[in-house]
């Protein structure tokens, strides 16, 4: 079977969902889930590299890659919110940010920016924050660290099958603080990376609203 970037993206999503399905069972299942999480993040880098090296990058593939990112982010943060390890507002924030940026990207593509998901970005700082390799790599590393940290905490210290069991209150509190700092730092960087899309995409929203108003005014005048 010939591997394409889109197939790698699909595999990444399946691996991510498999990892989340293992969390919350036995401790070794939790550790296996952590390993699968690392594999899912690694596959995120692989599909992009494959697309560049084999010259197989397409606008549809770029959109599929973003969809895979959204699915992975939401399923992980939703699970950890449901089990009480992160705030419920965290998956809500990721979902809202993703919905807003994807909506604006869709308007940009409708306006003719079909060169990829980030073709709408015209400023250097927008390209640097969203499309550069260092930004994408740092964001992937932060998500991987965040998911693995929470997964290891789940495997080692939470529930009746925890490998470590009870810890001193101070140690447990310190680990919890680390989890909160890491998750909200990841969320902050997520919002920062979405800022250029929101700023530069606003003109497409305003532009699409103009014809609608014009059509309404014309209909009212005709009436």
Q: Closest Cα partner for 179 from 92, 98, 91, 87?
A: 87
What are the tokens at 43? 């596959």
Residue bearing the bigger pLDDT, 218 or 199: 199
Taking the CB of residue 86, how many other CB atoms lie within 10 A of it? 23
What are the tokens at 209? 């609203």
Distance CA 190, CA 181 (A): 14
| pLDDT at site 36 | 95
What are the tokens at 150? 């929470």
Name the one residue in this structure whose structure tokens are 């290891």.
Answer: 152
Distance CA 185, CA 142 (A): 8
What are the tokens at 16? 């991510």
Distance CA 98, CA 190 (A): 9
Average confidence (pLDDT) over 130-151: 91
Position 194 pLDDT exceeds 80: yes
Report in angstroms the alpha-carbon separations of 13 from 40, 42, 70, 73: 7, 12, 10, 10
Report in angstroms the alpha-carbon separations of 141 from 9, 40, 64, 87, 184: 17, 12, 20, 21, 14
pLDDT above 70: percentage of residues in the chain: 83
User: Which SS3 state, helix, strand or coil, does residue 86 take?
Assistant: coil
Position 217 pLDDT exceeds 60: no
Among the ranges given (71-75, 145-149, 203-207), the one the predictor scored with the smallest mean pLDDT:
203-207
**CA angle (134 as vertex; 124, 100 as ends), nearest 5:** 65
Residue bearing the bigger pLDDT, 61 or 71: 71
Pick the CATH number of 5-209 from 1.25.40, 3.40.50, 1.10.3470, 1.20.120: 1.20.120
């Amino acid at each position: 079977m010939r591997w394409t970037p889109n197939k790698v993206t699909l595999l990444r999503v399946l691996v991510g969902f498999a990892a989340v399905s293992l969390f919350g069972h036995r401790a070794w299942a939790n550790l296996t889930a952590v390993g699968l999480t690392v594999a899912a993040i690694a596959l995120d880098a692989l599909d992009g590299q494959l697309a560049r090296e084999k010259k197989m990058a397409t606008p549809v593939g770029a959109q599929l890659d973003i969809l895979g990112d959204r699915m992975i982010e939401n399923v992980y943060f939703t699970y950890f919110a449901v089990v009480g390890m992160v705030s419920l507002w965290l998956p809500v924030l990721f979902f809202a940010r993703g919905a807003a940026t994807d909506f604006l990207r869709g308007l940009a593509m409708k306006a003719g920016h079909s060169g990829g998901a980030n073709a709408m970005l015209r400023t250097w700082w927008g390209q640097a924050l969203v499309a550069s390799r260092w930004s994408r790599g740092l964001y992937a590393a932060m998500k991987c660290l965040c998911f693995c940290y929470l997964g290891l905490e789940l495997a080692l210290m939470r529930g009746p099958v925890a490998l470590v069991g009870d810890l001193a209150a101070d140690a447990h509190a310190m680990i919890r603080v680390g989890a909160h700092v890491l998750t909200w730092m990841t969320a902050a960087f997520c919002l920062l990376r979405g800022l250029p899309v929101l700023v530069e995409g606003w003109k497409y929203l305003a532009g699409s609203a103009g014809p609608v108003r014009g059509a309404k005014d014309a209909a009212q005048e005709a009436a």
